[in-house]
Structure 1
Amino acid sequence: MAKPVTVKFGQFFVRLSDGAATPVFTAPCGFTSKSFSRNKTFGETNVPNCDDPDAPSWIERDVQSMSGSISGEGVLAKSAVPDWEAALADTDSIECEVEFVYPDGDSDIYTGNFHVESFEVSGSRGERVTVSVSMQSDGEITYERTTAP
């Protein structure tokens, strides 16, 4: 069996747009863990067996909606606070980019608008102050694979 190509933590990027017409995406510093998820919600219909009404019916599912979320935790980096505060204060969603860069230079890039849902700062005596951020998608998320030249 061939060994799979994997991605190191440092090659998993969560970037926020500066909002310009040609956006520049930057990754706020401080995350020590990150996650990106996409999901669907379904409408479910019990479809009976017309030839045998006593047989169990099968559930058929139709996609009603799709969404995504981004979350991360880590240290509170001074340089990142203005970016997170601006995104949280904005009543409009902001464009975000999630990228996975493979060792061969190929990338998987997901782009979409997200609302900052929460920005939580916490601290304990004898430790560094930490931050937890969660974001929810606002509309379509696109996917693109780029390949190294």
Structure 2
Amino acid sequence: MAQATTIKGGKVRVLLGTPGALPADPITYAAPCGFTSRSITLTKNLEEVNIPDCEDPDKVDWVGRDATSLSMGVSGEGVLAAESVEDWLDAWESVESVPVKIEWEFPAKTVTWTGYMQVESVESEAPNGQRATLTVSMQSDGEMVRVVAP
């Protein structure tokens, strides 16, 4: 049996995008400094319906499930870094969703999602005598397009 090919946490990246000066300019992505942990949650919302047995209506129904929507959530935590605090605050204050790129970099391929997300929360914890930390949570706003490249 062959061992699984795994990656370390630094190969999972959350990048915020900055639109170019002109509408035709490409978005530039960069990973804000400070995260020491990242979590990506892929969610499929389901609608349930009971499916009866046509020959025995008294039999307990089985539940059928139909997919109704997909969503991606991202959370990260780490130190409250001066280099990125304004990036996070600007994204949180924005009425519009912000461009985001998520990457999982494996040795032979990289899985990338690109789209827009709303920063739903920014939380800072500052215990006396210890470094201040930052926790950020984002939710997709529309489709996150997945591309797998070698």
TM range (shorter): over 0.9
Q: Distance in 1 between matches of 2:75 and 2:107?
A: 24
Q: Distance in 1 between matches of 2:135 and 2:147?
A: 28
1:122 aligns with 2:106: no
Residue in structure 2 matched with residue 67 of structure 1 by the alignment: 71
Query: In structure 1, the residue corresponding to 2:145 is in which secondary structure?
Result: strand
Shift of 1:125: 1.1
The counterpart of 2:61, out of the listed 50, 57, 61, is 57
Residue in structure 1 matched with residue 85 of structure 2 by the alignment: 81
Q: Distance in 1 between matches of 2:63 and 2:84?
A: 47
| Count of residues paired in the alignment | 146
Shift of 1:55: 1.3
Shift of 1:89: 1.2
Q: Distance in 2 between matches of 1:103 and 1:49?
A: 50
Query: In structure 1, the residue corresponding to 2:88 is in which secondary structure?
Result: helix
Q: Distance in 1 between matches of 2:17 and 2:8?
A: 23
Q: Distance in 2 between matches of 1:61 and 1:10?
A: 36
Shift of 1:56: 1.5
Query: In structure 2, the residue corresponding to 1:78 is in which secondary structure?
Result: coil
TM-score, normalised with respect to structure 1: 0.94
Cα deviation digits, residues 58-99 of structure 1 (max 9, x gap): 111111221111000100010001110111111000110110
CA RMSD of aligned residues (A): 1.0
Shift of 1:103: 2.4
Q: Distance in 2 between matches of 1:94 and 1:143?
A: 17
Shift of 1:16: 0.4
The counterpart of 1:98, out of the listed 99, 102, 108, is 102
Cα deviation digits, residues 19-50 of structure 1 (max 9, x gap): 22301100001111110111111111001001
Structure 1 counterpart of 2:141, one-letter code: D
Gaps of 5+ in 2: none
Query: In structure 1, the residue corresponding to 2:4 is in which secondary structure?
Result: coil
The runs of at least 4 aligned residues of structure 1 exceeding 3 Å deviation read: none
How do residues 131-142 of structure 1 correspond to structure 2 at under 5 angstroms? Answer: 131-142=134-145
Gaps of 5+ in 1: none
Determine what percentage of the aligned residue pairs are the same residue: 40
